[in-house]
A and B are shown apart, each in its own frame.
Chain A
């Protein structure tokens, strides 16, 4: 158990509203990631962070922003939610400092945009 929690676990919102998802870890790991999961697409990387205030884009970053002001928290924001952002969102962390290594995933947040 890598001590990862996500909140909320479920959310229903309307098109055009802002939404923030939170990922919290208890073990001060440096690398954190946000993925979305949709049928047939597997997991797609949205943004990642390699330290406090150090973030970068993944392959599907349009419409999303992130912030990391503390090591333990990585926030994903949808500034103006659209129906195409209905998905399951997973946060993950890496234990090692760099290079390919295993990622531990949080329990996920199911977001529905009406």
Chain B
């Protein structure tokens, strides 16, 4: 079953922060975050594994709450380049890498 992302869309000013949530009705083993710009391919941001720690690079980080079956992506001090659609993809076990993606969150950063 497809994970649910919220919000569906968000508009920010440069320098503002945003949080994107990804919730699953099934137990999570891994959560993968991707960003896609209009007309381009999705680009990998990070992966979080069950039992792992919060990950991040630069001003983008993510957390994994096993009990809530949820992951959150944190974008701090947003830049214009952060604009795009963010997708979470999940796996429910360690058996493979077949992802089930959420419907996406459209993020627009304005000057």
Contact = CB atoms under 8 A, between A and B. Distances in A.
A42 B41 contact: no
Contact of B104 (A31, A42, A50, A90): A42
Interface in B90-106: 91, 94, 96-104
Interface size class for chain A?
20 to 34
Contacts, number: 58
A101 B87 CA distance: 15
Contacts of B61: none
B97 A94 contact: yes
A99 B32 CA distance: 12
A61 to B, nearest CB: 12
Interface string A15-56: 000000000000000010100000011111100101000000
Given A103-B44, A104-B44, A105-B42, A42 B97 contact: no
Contacts of A96: 97
B97 A103 contact: yes
Contacts of A45: 98-100
Contact of A100 (B2, B94, B102): B94
Contact of A99 (B44, B94, B102, B104): B94
A99 B96 CA distance: 5
A43 B44 contact: no
Nearest to B90: A100
Contacts of A12: none
Given A40-B103, A42-B102, A100-B47, A90 B97 contact: no
